[in-house]
Chains A and B, each alone.
Chain A
Amino acid sequence: MSSENILEVSHLKQYFPVKNGFKTVPLKAVDDISFSIKPGETLGLVGESGCGKTTVGRTLLRLYQPTAGRIVFDGDVLFDSEQKIDKKMQPYRKQMQMVFQDPYSSLNPRMTVEDIIGEPLDVHKLYSSKGERHDKIMELMETVGLNAEHATRYAHEFSGGQRQRIGIARALAVDPKFIVCDEPVSALDVSIQAQVVNMFEDLQKERGLSYLFIAHDLLVVQHISDRIAVMYLGHMMEIADAVELMDNPIHPYTQSLLSAVPIPDPNTARKSQRIILEGDVPSPLKMPSGCPFRTRCRYATEQCACEMPPFTDRGNGHMVACWNK
């Protein structure tokens, strides 16, 4: 672990207590996940719905209290369950922000755009006069491509893409270094998805931002990510360079995710046969023994059912958790 990373997450666990009949059992939404992000880098995080991607993002922003693990941001240990470190988050809220998945429920319907974008400025007292507040809000609206004349409008008057831009402006208001983008485009029309993804890229170039970019769709993630992490049932399956992961997926789960990606041009379609993912993700309450993916894996063996595969380096930082060589 080097200190040149802006974010280091190790052995992060998030168990939710859920009622199962009369007993309360832990739902292991995120179980022992480690990754790191360098300044200015984008780490894509993919996996089917319900794999715990959102939970990872929210837990590392401390919207949920982590069950265990260690979170280091910009050299400061924010949380460490072993050393009993649990820092107050208020000062770090200015440096780490989040863009939410649902552009409809993430904006308060009783607030104007001006107040939504202005709230972080109010909370952290980032202006000295009313005029400065107004100017900052106008500037932010222009940055994300919103018409500043609409500042006094309510969020419900905007389209999905525009609402997501409001959410982005709110995240940018505190001038953060790191943003968790939780499926920021999956609720948008395909044509608007491209615009918003491009805007994320432009903002990254202008402001040197680092992203954790979550998506359930490899197509969106491969476009923006430097590295890609693949998650399944709360566990990390594979992390590699974006190009490396797309060209040479090692984990059977990544391979099946890739063959599920529609290929726009039939001439360049992958020669490899399609691997169809069968069945649904099992409930995290009924976690399979050993490898979590074994119930849907074509290569599953005895060993897979008994032991959890270790997360090992297959060369050049291509990390995989699979027994299959």
Chain B
Amino acid sequence: MKDNFKKAPFSAQIDLSKFSMQDFEKATDEEKKQQDVMGESTTFFKDGMRRLRKNPLAMLSIVILVLLILVILIAPHVIPYGYADIVKGSANLHPMEYSMQEQQAIAKGESVFPHLFGTDSLGRDYFIRVVYGARVSLSVGIFASILVLIIGMVYGSISGYLGGRVDLVMMRIVDIIYSLPDMLLIILLAVVLNETLSPLIKGTVLAKLGTNMIALFIVFGILYWVGMARLIRGQILTIKQNEYVLAAKCIGTSTSRTIIKHILPNCLSVIIITTALQIPSAIFTESYLSFVGLGVSAPMPSLGSLANEARAGMMTYPERLLFPAFAICLIVLALNLLGDGLRDAFDPKLSR
């Protein structure tokens, strides 16, 4: 009964009844093989790395960041000055200048390590201070981003996966937090915590970090995760729409297995990219706060506080402002370009 329709079931098909068996010859094994030829097998990761390697800006950023990190790690071991060491008689030196004492020592045949960036008004080697400043800024950026990532990921995935009413309430909370003026809150928190925390943490490791830094982390913890939470929730909502999640349900896959095998691996690129882009923004916030005097406690330098101190002698010693400002720009720019490169390489859909 179906045969009535089989004659021309699809308009684009050749009417086979016009041919006889002799009109065809069997495909050889060789020909069959050729049908099967496919491109080199690539995994998602390999594919992304290949695209990343083709992006010159991202590659340059990686080189710059690696060099910076090497300098940050090695310089304190090579350079004989500490960030808080005051070198007698060497205040206010320009880059590569030697003080009187040092010139005498050199004349005696002793070797004196040059002040690459000069010294500050107290006679501290400026190069090592910039290196430490970059170290503080980078670690604040990385740890704050990890904090944001953890809170945002947990909150966002619960909200996105459960959906419905839970999602509604959780997202309204996010909206409220999003609308708070973050800088004002940081400044308020820093002032309040300075009063309340300093007696508590006296003598502990935290004291070295300073209450301002703790305030900064707290603010990152309670304010900046919302962007990440929104993003991850949105991502999970779109992934939930994919038929492969439905297919998993159809197979009988459990909820936990579905999340682990199907949902999280597909958000991973977004998570990595956003974290990479979060780091420069955290560094920027830290620099800004240090600049207005709410960052790390002296004598610990940060790029922002160095720039702030440099304002005093800006006309005579412009390099004191230029070095930390340049370092901030370099770090932030390199991280941003790397983040963009990662995004384009691993998640082209996300680029705006």
A123-B252, A265-B8 given; A242·B2 CB < 8 A: yes
User: Would you list which residues of chain B between 117 and 139 have a CB under 8 Å from chain A?
Assistant: none
Any chain A CB within 8 A of the CB of B246? yes
C-alpha gap A265/B11 in the complex (Å): 9
Q: Report if B41 contacts A (CB, 8 A).
A: yes
Whole-angstrom distance from the CB of A37 to the nearest CB of chain B?
17
Q: B21 contacts the other chain (Cβ, under 8 Å)? A: no
User: With an 8 A cutoff between CB atoms, is B255 at the interface?
Assistant: no
Interface-side segment among B216-224, B261-269, B333-341: B261-269
Bound form: Cα–Cα A224–B265 in Å? 38
A193–B10 CB distance below 8 A: yes
B residues within 8 A CB of A63? 246, 249-250
Q: From B266, which residue of chain A is reached at the shortest CB distance?
A: A110
Once bound together, how far apart are the Cα atoms of A109 and B39, in whole Å? 17
Judged by a CB distance under 8 angstroms, whether B143 is at the interface is no
Is the Cβ of A190 less than 8 Å from the Cβ of B250?
Answer: no
A residues 83-110 in Cβ contact with B at 8 Å: 89-90, 93-94, 97-98, 100-102, 105-110
Question: What are the residues of chain A within 8 A of B12 when measuring CB–CB?
Answer: 190-191
Q: How far is the CA of A221 from the CA of B166 in the complex (A)?
A: 43
Given contacts A223-B9, A243-B4, contact A98 B244 (CB under 8 A): no
Task: Look across to chain A and name the residue whose beta carbon is closest to the beta carbon of B269.
Answer: A110
A102-B243, A107-B244, A223-B6 given; A124·B262 CB < 8 A: no
A78 to chain B, nearest CB (A): 14
Is there a chain A Cβ closer than 8 Å to B1's Cβ? yes
Q: Which parts of A218-275 form the interface with B (CB within 8 Å)?
A: 219-220, 222-224, 226, 242-243, 246, 262, 264-265
**CB under 8 Å from chain B, chain A span 116-173:** 119-120, 123-124, 147, 149-150, 152-154, 157-158, 167, 170
Collect the chain A residues with CB atoms within 8 Å of residue B11's CB: 190, 219, 262, 264
Considering residues B44, B246, B266, which has the most beta carbons from chain A within 10 angstroms of its beta carbon? B246
Distance between Cα atoms of A90 and B38 in the complex (Å): 37
Chain B residues with CB under 8 Å of A90's CB are 252
CB nearest to B11 among chain A residues: A264
Can you name the residue of chain B whose Cβ is closest to the Cβ of A91?
B252
A184, B262: Cα distance in complex, Å:
22
Contact B250 A154 (CB under 8 A): no
Q: CB distance B251 to A120 under 8 Å?
A: yes
| Contacting pair B10 A219 (CB below 8 A) | yes
Tell me the bound Cα distance from A258 to B246 in angstroms: 32
Contacting residues, chain A, for B265 (C-beta < 8 A): 108, 110
Contact present for B257 and A123 (CB under 8 Å): yes
Check if B261 sits within 8 Å of A108, measured CB to CB.
yes
Interface bits B6-18 vs A (CB < 8 Å: 1, else 0): 1011111100000
B10 partner, pick from A58, A149, A190, beta carbons under 8 A: A190
Contact B244–A106 (Cβ < 8 Å): yes
In the complex, the answer to whether A119 meets B251 with C-beta atoms within 8 Å is yes
- Least CB distance, B18 to chain A, in whole angstroms: 13
| Residue of A whose beta carbon sits closest to that of B241 | A105
CB–CB B38/A157 < 8 A:
yes
Cβ contacts under 8 Å, B248 to chain A:
119
CA distance A170 to B253 in the complex (A): 13
- Per the bound structure, the CA–CA distance linking A265 and B10 in Å amounts to 11
| Chain A CB within 10 A, most for which of B38, B244, B262 | B244
**A194 near B: Cβ within 8 Å?**
yes
Cα distance, A264 to B247, chains bound together (Å): 36
Give A262 to B9 CA distance when docked, in angstroms. 11
Measured between beta carbons, the chain A residues less than 8 angstroms from B103 are none
- Asked if B101 is an interface residue, CB under 8 A from chain A, the answer is no
Tell me whether B351 is interfacial, beta carbon within 8 Å.
no
Of residues 14 to 42 in A, which have CB atoms within 8 Å of B's CB atoms?
A: none
Whether B13 contacts A194 by the Cβ 8 Å rule is yes
Q: Is B242 an interface residue (CB 8 A)?
A: yes
**B24 lies within 8 A of chain A by Cβ:** no
Contact present for A120 and B36 (CB under 8 Å): no
Q: B266: which A residues are within 8 A, CB to CB?
A: 108-110
Question: Smallest distance from the beta carbon of B266 to chain A beta carbons, Å?
Answer: 6
Sort A-B residue pairs by CB-CB distance and give the 9 closest, nearest first: A93-B252, A106-B243, A110-B265, A223-B9, A190-B12, A264-B8, A108-B244, A264-B11, A100-B243
Q: Can you list 28 A-B pairs, Cβ within 8 angstroms, ordered by A?
A: A63-B249, A90-B252, A94-B252, A97-B250, A97-B251, A105-B241, A106-B243, A106-B246, A106-B247, A108-B244, A108-B261, A109-B266, A119-B248, A119-B253, A123-B254, A153-B38, A157-B38, A157-B41, A157-B42, A167-B247, A170-B247, A174-B251, A190-B12, A191-B12, A222-B5, A223-B6, A242-B2, A246-B5
Known: A110-B265, A153-B38. 8 other contacts (CB 8 A): A105-B242, A106-B243, A108-B242, A190-B12, A223-B9, A223-B10, A224-B2, A243-B4
Q: Could you tell me which B residues sit within 8 Å of A by CB distance?
A: 1-2, 4-6, 8-13, 36, 38-39, 41-44, 241-244, 246-254, 257, 261-262, 265-266
Identify the A interface with B (CB < 8 A). 58, 61, 63, 89-90, 93-94, 97-98, 100-102, 105-111, 119-120, 123-124, 147, 149-150, 152-154, 157-158, 167, 170, 174, 190-191, 193-194, 197, 219-220, 222-224, 226, 242-243, 246, 262, 264-265
